[in-house]
Amino acid sequence: MPLYEYVCGSCAERFEQLVRSASTTQVACPRCGSANVQKAVSTFASFGSGADSLPMAASGGCCGGAGGCACSR
């Protein structure tokens, strides 16, 4: 089941919901219960096949693992 991001047109709440692809079920806002919701543009992370495409944790963090920054502590 894909995970979609939604924005409520009534209260501006942003939320995620698992929705079956063939589902005709109306999605409702978890905050106000309104059915006035629209799918939001979302981003996702993907990694290719190379050293330049490794996640930050695998490549030593934002500074390459140098001892002086907060991400390597």
- Dist. CA 41–CA 30, nearest whole Å: 19
The pLDDT of residue 24: 72
Predicted confidence (pLDDT) per residue in 2-56, tens digit? 888 999 999 999 999 988 766 677 899 999 999 999 999 877 666 666 555 555 5
**Inside any domain, residue 66:** no
Q: Greater confidence, 44 or 70?
A: 44
- Domain count across the chain: 1
28, 35 Cβ separation under 8 angstroms: yes
Q: What is the DSSP letter of 70?
A: G
Of 49, 59, 55, 15, nearest to 34 by C-alpha is 15
Per-residue confidence (pLDDT) for residue 73, from 0 to 100: 47
CATH of the domain at 17: 2.20.28.10
pLDDT at residue 23, rounded to an integer: 61
Whole-prediction pTM: 0.54
